[in-house]
């Protein structure tokens, strides 16, 4: 008698699709970029920057001391008058050149961004690097149209600007800061984050290749001490993106000095789903809102507000979707969630998640095997969350979502606004009138409707309350870099 072999269960695993690391060659060590040249730090200090996915060292990077920061500021000061006096159209051409060079080196930049920061290559390749180029393109166009941007008021560049950026979008944040500053005729000193200095240094190479006059852009790598030295130096304006705690410290340091300041700080943004929303689409937006870049996003939709009538259904679909998330090698093109940026950040996430469990929230994590080496955290959702819990109040800056419920639009607004922050929000509903009504009542700088975490260089971005002040992006992003009579 013929035997029937039972059919094996079908396996739908993805084959690995690794981006080639060899497409980006890193140097063994990197210097500071001051006055158009790469120079060693005066005291010779260097630190290794590591790959958070493997804990392997990538390159040794110069650590700027106060003297190096002062030299960079002096170079920017010396370059300022000539750069300000340059015909605006010519300034625009330099920015355009930088944008083109970012595009030309985009593959290399994406690989280095993923190696140094841990983010999936799909995000560096499709979001960070193209958007960085787009910011330079966009502000290249503004350089000779500033009068239109400011409604015909008389204006002048601020002079020298000090810019401190964080580790979550290293090249993109550098572009957000440098492009409008240069378009307005300022010179700049940029301080990248200690854990992600590499793409800022590649951008310095690009600046050199674009033949910018020496001193117009300077990059000082180092730790928080270099940032603190820069914001207290002889600069005319400071632009900072990072934690609220450091932002407050900078605001205190600058109080009464007459120097300009913009702060883009933390958030605890509400992603609000009404019962009439397209639920599968909303689930995609929830995933994008909290797991994009491992949740290392200041505007992450880290508080999910679900209308009670659909709460169970949305959570069920969310869990099912989370099981499909691929966590792992940032250089694999199939990866959805990469590595946590640093051991310190992993400890912070772990501590806050433990507090959520202790306070009584219910945790869900999909089964996923995390790599043994490196810094990893599984995508996490908490239900049964009270507004008073730390996981509903504090910025976790990791792949951790807290779910709350509401019955009426007013309750949704009240809960969404019940936070010291005010950076962004998401609204999911099929009714345009409800979107507009919610947008008017939500105290948040950016509100997405039926989407989340979409960025565009022509759109202003910034917060209220403890999320900071000032806007970056678009026409609004020019004003902080100009002085008005």
Question: Looking at the annotation, which residues are catalytic?
Answer: 264, 298
Please choose, out of 226-234, 302-310, 320-328, 363-371, the segment that lies near ligand NDP by the rule CB under 6 A. 226-234
- Residue 390, interface with ligand NDP (CB under 6 A)? no
Q: Are 165 and 241 in contact (CB under 8 A)?
A: yes
Residue 128 binds to ligand NDP (criterion: CB under 6 A): no
Residue 462 contacts ligand NDP per CB under 6 A: no
Least Å distance between CB 154 and ligand NDP? 32
Alpha-helix residue ranges (DSSP H) falling in 43-158: 66-85, 88-104, 106-117, 121-123, 129-142, 146-149
| CA dihedral for 427, 293, 263, 186, sign (positive or negative) | negative
Least Cβ distance, residue 253 to ligand NDP (angstroms): 8
Q: What are phi and psi of 71, to 5 degrees?
A: -65, -40
Q: Closest CB to ligand NDP among 247 and 328? A: 247
Q: What gap in Å lies between CA 377 and CA 334, rounded to an integer? A: 18
395 binding ligand NDP? (CB under 6 A) = yes
For position 231 contacting ligand NDP by CB under 6 A, the verdict is yes
Task: Give the nearest distance from C-beta 240 to ligand NDP in angstroms.
Answer: 7
> How far apart, in whole angstroms, are the C-alpha atoms of residue 132 and residue 418?
33
The yes or no reply on residue 171 touching ligand NDP (CB under 6 A) is no
The answer to whether the beta carbons of residues 182 and 144 sit under 8 Å apart is no
CA 254, 179, 481 angle in degrees (round to 5)? 35
- Contact between 397 and ligand NDP by CB under 6 A: the answer reads yes
Minimum Å gap between C-beta 11 and ligand NDP is: 38
Question: Applying CB under 6 A, which part among 40-48, 57-65, 147-155, 241-249 lies near ligand NDP?
Answer: 241-249
Least separation in angstroms between residue 88's CB and ligand NDP is 30
Angle between helices 106-117 and 129-142 (to 10 degrees): 120
Say whether residue 143 binds ligand NDP (CB under 6 A): no
Count of residues that bind ligand NDP according to CB under 6 A: 26
Tell me if residue 446 falls in helix, strand or coil: strand
Residue whose CB is less far from ligand NDP, 92 or 242: 242
The whole-angstrom separation of Cα 212 and Cα 234 is: 22
Q: Where would I find the H helices in 152-278?
A: 170-183, 198-209, 224-231, 244-254
CA distance 175 to 260: 19
- Window of 40-48, 108-116, 141-149, 244-252 that interacts with ligand NDP by CB under 6 A: 244-252
Of residues 150-169, those binding ligand NDP (CB under 6 A): 164-168
Binding site for ligand NDP (CB under 6 A): 164-168, 191, 193-194, 223-224, 227-228, 231, 241-243, 246, 249-250, 265-266, 298, 345, 348, 395, 397
């Amino acid at each position: 008698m013929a035997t029937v072999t039972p059919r094996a269960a079908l396996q739908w695993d993805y084959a690995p699709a690794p981006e080639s690391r060899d497409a980006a060659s890193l140097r063994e060590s990197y210097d500071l970029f001051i006055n158009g040249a790469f120079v060693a730090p005066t005291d010779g200090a260097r630190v290794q920057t590591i790959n958070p996915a493997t804990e392997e060292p990538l390159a040794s990077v110069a650590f700027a001391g106060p003297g190096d920061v002062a030299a960079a500021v002096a170079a920017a000061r010396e370059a300022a008058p000539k750069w300000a006096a340059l015909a605006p159209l010519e300034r625009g051409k330099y920015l355009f050149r930088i944008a083109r060079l970012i595009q030309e080196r985009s593959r290399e930049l994406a690989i280095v961004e993923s190696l140094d920061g841990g983010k999936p290559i799909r995000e560096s390749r499709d979001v960070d690097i193209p958007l960085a180029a787009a910011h330079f393109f966009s502000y290249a166009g503004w350089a000779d149209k500033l009068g239109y941007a400011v409604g015909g008021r008389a204006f002048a560049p601020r002079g020298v600007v000090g810019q401190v950026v964080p580790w979550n979008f290293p090249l993109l944040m550098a572009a957000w800061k440098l492009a409008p500053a240069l378009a307005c005729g300022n010179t700049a000193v940029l301080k990248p984050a200690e854990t992600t200095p590499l793409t800022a240094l590649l951008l310095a190479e690009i600046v050199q290749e674009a033949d910018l006059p020496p001193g117009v852009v300077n990059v000082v790598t180092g730790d928080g001490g270099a940032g603190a030295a820069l914001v207290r130096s002889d600069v005319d304006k400071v632009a900072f993106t990072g934690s609220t705690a450091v932002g407050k410290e900078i605001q205190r340091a600058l109080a009464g000095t007459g120097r300009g300041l913009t702060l883009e700080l933390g958030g605890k943004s509400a992603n609000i789903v009404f019962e009439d929303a397209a639920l599968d689409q909303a689930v995609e937006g929830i995933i994008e809102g909290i797991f994009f870049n491992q949740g290392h996003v200041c505007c992450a939709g880290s508080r999910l507000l679900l209308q009670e009538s659909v709460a169970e259904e949305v959570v069920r679909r969310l869990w099912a979707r989370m099981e499909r998330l691929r966590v792992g090698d940032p250089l694999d093109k199939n990866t959805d969630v990469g590595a946590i940026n640093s051991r310190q950040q992993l400890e912070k996430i772990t501590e806050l998640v433990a507090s959520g469990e202790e306070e009584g929230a219910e945790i869900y994590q999909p089964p996923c095997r995390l790599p043994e080496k490196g810094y990893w955290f599984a995508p996490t959702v908490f239900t049964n969350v009270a507004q008073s819990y730390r996981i509903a109040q504090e910025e976790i800056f990791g792949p951790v979502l807290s779910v709350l419920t509401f019955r009426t639009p007013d309750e949704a607004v009240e809960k969404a606004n019940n936070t010291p922050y005010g950076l962004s929000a998401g609204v999911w509903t099929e009714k345009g009138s409800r979107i507009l009504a919610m947008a008017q009542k939500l105290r948040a700088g950016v509100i997405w409707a039926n989407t989340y975490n979409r960025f565009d260089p022509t759109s202003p971005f910034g917060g209220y309350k403890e999320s900071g002040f000032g806007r970056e992006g678009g026409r609004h992003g020019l004003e902080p870099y100009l002085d008005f009579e």
